[in-house]
Amino acid sequence: MWSRASLSVLFLAVHAWHWRVIVVDPGVGFGDVGLYQWWAWDALERGTWPVLDHAWVYPALAVLPVVAPGLASTVEWAPYASAWMLLVTVANAVATVALARRSRLAAVWYLLFLALLGPVAFGRLDAIAVPFAVVGLLAAVRRPHLAAVLLTVGAWVKVAPGVLVLPLLVVARRRVRDVVVPAGLVCVAVVGAVAAGGGMRNVVSFASAQEGRGLQLESVAATWWVVQWVTGGDGGAHYDEDLITWEAVGPGTGVAAELLGWLLPVGVGLVTWAAWRARARLAPAELLAWSGLALTLVLIVVNKVGSPQFLTWLAAPVAVGLALWSRARDDGAAEASEGAPFGWPLVAAWCLVLAALTHLVFPLGYFGLVAGDPAVGWTLVARNVLLAALLCAVVVRLAVVGRRTAVVGRRRAARERGAGGRSD
C-alpha cells in the first residue's frame, strides 16, 4: 500500500511543516528550543557549560544536541531553530528507515503519531532520544549489545529510554556480556568525559532536579484537581517561575506529588517482575515490545511531572510492536496473535488518539487550560483516562494473554503431531 515514494513524501511533508512552524510561528509549542538556544549561547559565547560548570536538569549527553545547533547561530532565532530541526529530521530519518526495513506500516504510523502529537514531538530533547530507542529496540533480539549501547546513549540524553534496558536484560541470554558491559562502558565514557571537564559534582544533578516539584497540571495524577477546577471545586493552577511550568493546586496535591515519587520506582519494579514471569510465554521480540510499552506507560502515568512531550516515548515500543505484528501477518503467522484480541493494531490506533488529544491540549488549548476553560480541561481528563486505561490493558496483556497464547501454541503443536502420526 505504501511505496517508498509515498513514505518519503509523508516524511518530508511532516518535517517541512514543523520546520516552517518553528521558524515562522514557534509559539508555545517550540518554547523549549528558545531555552536550548540560550544554553548554547551561554556555553559557546561565555564558556559556561551545563553539567561541567553548573547543575542541569538533563543528563550530560543532552549538551551535544543543545549546543550543536548553536554552531549555526547563538543569537538569531532562525539559524538556530533551522539547525535544531535539521538535527531532529536526521534522527527521525534514521528511525523511519530502520522501521521501514521491517514494516512500512510501522514507519507510516511513526510519522503519523509524531504529526498528530505536534510541536512537542519535534521541539524537545525527547525528539533526539526517541530515535535511539526505536533503533535500539529493533536491534535488541539479534544484537542486544548494540541495543544496550543505543538505549544507554539515549538515556544520557533523556532518561526515559534507559528503562527499556530492563526488558532487554530479561530477554538476553548473556545478560552481563551483551547488556551490562556495553551499557556500563557507555556510562563510564560519559562520566569520564564529564570528570575530565571538571563537572563530576554535577554528573547526576539531573536525578535530583525533580525533587520538590509539585503536581504538574498536565499529569495523569492531577486529573482529579483538573476536574475540580473546571467544575468550580477546590482545584486550581499555579505558575512556578523557577521551573517554568504550571502546577495543579488544591487539597492533597502535595501529598500526591510526594506519593508518586515512591510509586514510580515500585511500578517499574512490578512491571519488570511481570516481564520476567512472562519470558517463557512470549517470544523475545514480543516480550520486549509489550514490556517496553508497559514500562513506558508507567513512566508517563505514575509521574508527577507528566509533560506533554512524554507521549513521544510511546513511539518506540508501539512502532516496533506494530512492525512485529505486520511482519508476522505478512509471513502468514497469524497464529502468533491468536487468543489476543488486544493487539498492536488496536494499541497503535489508541496511541494516535492519545497523540491528537495531547496536541489539542498542548499547545493548541494550553492558554485555555491554564485559564480554566472547561472544554480544554475535559479534553485533558479524557486523554488521562485513556492513558491510564491503556496502562491497565497492556499490563493485563503482558501478564495474562501470553499464557493463553502459549496454551494455544501447545495445542496446535499437539494437533500437528497427531496429524503427522495418522499420516504415517
Instruction: Indicate the helix (H) or strand (E) that contains 248.
Output: strand 245-249
Whether residue 193 sits in one domain with residue 225: no
Whether residue 307 sits in one domain with residue 383: yes
Cα separation values, 282 from 185, 278, 372, 405, Å: 30, 6, 46, 8
Whether residue 244 sits in one domain with residue 294: yes
Whether residue 369 sits in one domain with residue 350: yes
pLDDT of residue 413: 43
What does the pLDDT look like over 22-66, one tens digit per residue? 999 998 889 999 999 999 999 999 999 999 999 999 999 999 999
pTM for this one? 0.92
Supply 38's cell numbers: 540560550
Whether residue 165 sits in one domain with residue 99: yes
pLDDT of residue 364: 95
Whether residue 257 sits in one domain with residue 131: no
Residue closest to 144 by CA, chosen among 308, 287, 1 = 287
What does the pLDDT look like over 215-260, one tens digit per residue? 999 999 999 999 999 898 888 899 988 778 899 999 999 999 999 9
φ, ψ of residue 372 to 5 degrees: the values are: 85, 25
Q: Which domain holds residue 116?
A: 1-209
- Total count of domains within the chain: 2
Which positions ≥6 away from 71 have C-beta within 8 Å? 44, 83
What does the pLDDT look like over 72-109, one tens digit per residue? 999 999 999 999 999 999 999 999 999 999 999 999 99
